[in-house]
């Protein structure tokens, strides 16, 4: 592979690495907020997404680690603002949607274009593929926020299949059980089957 030193792609890689790394911590904190508020399903989505973001950071870092041993790389100044921790689950979801949308619609497409122009086709492909994952993250968070705001996290206007995230108990009805009859965990452990992928 050609050398990254002195390229915009190197700056974009370290910027994306920094963004993905902070997202891991932000989603870990958001997971704790959702868990504390009793939204176990949302907490699990934050936990899974944090793991995805960690994998993205690792993949991006691999492009840099051999060529830039013990060297500093300047961040892309257009992408250095990161959101802060939120006080509740709804705000955490809103912040996550905004961040994921920016990555999917602006940052990763721009970084892919620059990498392609500079002759780093493999890196351009990674930026494009990670951007598509961020789009999925955004859509999942939006579904959860819409459901939460509509008051339908544990109650629907139609018969729904509910699954206990602790023991796997399945229940059909308009509202998730207040307490799981199988494992005695509270309603917050139930999710509507098929709500998010």
**Parent domain of 182:** 155-192
Give the pLDDT confidence of 113-137 residue by residue, as tens digits.
Answer: 999 999 999 999 999 999 999 999 9
Residues 63, 42: Cα–Cα separation, whole Å: 32
**Measuring CA to CA, how many Å separate 130 from each of 95, 125, 175?**
19, 9, 36
Please tell me whether residues 97 and 188 are part of one structural domain.
no
Identify the pLDDT of residue 37. 96
* Helix (H) or strand (E) run with residue 126 in it: helix 121-149
Residues 174, 179: Cα–Cα separation, whole Å: 15
> Is 44 part of any domain?
yes
> Is 3 part of any domain?
no
Reported as a pLDDT band with limits 50, 70 and 90, residue 197 is low
> Is 72 part of any domain?
yes
**Measuring CA to CA, how many Å separate 151 from each of 3, 20, 34, 145?**
53, 31, 15, 10
Give the pLDDT confidence of 43-77 residue by residue, as tens digits.
Answer: 999 999 999 999 999 999 999 887 888 888 888 78
């Amino acid at each position: 592979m050609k050398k990254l030193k002195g390229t915009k792609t190197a700056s974009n890689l370290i910027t994306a690495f920094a963004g993905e790394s902070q997202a891991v911590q932000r989603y870990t904190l958001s997971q704790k907020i959702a868990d504390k508020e009793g939204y176990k399903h949302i907490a699990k989505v934050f936990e899974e997404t944090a793991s995805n973001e960690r994998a993205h950071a690792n993949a991006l870092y691999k492009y840099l680690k051999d060529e830039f041993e013990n060297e500093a790389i300047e961040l892309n100044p257009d992408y250095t603002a990161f959101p802060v921790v939120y006080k509740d689950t709804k705000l955490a979801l809103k912040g996550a949607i905004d961040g994921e949308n920016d990555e999917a619609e602006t940052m990763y497409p721009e970084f892919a274009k620059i990498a392609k122009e500079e002759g780093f086709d493999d890196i351009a492909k990674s930026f494009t593929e990670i951007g598509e994952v961020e789009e999925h993250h955004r859509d999942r968070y939006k579904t959860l926020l819409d459901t939460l705001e509509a008051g339908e996290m544990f109650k629907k206007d139609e018969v729904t299949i509910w699954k206990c995230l602790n023991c796997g108990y399945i229940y059909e009805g308009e509202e998730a059980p207040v307490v799981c009859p199988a494992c005695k965990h509270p309603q917050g452990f139930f999710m509507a089957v098929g709500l998010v992928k």
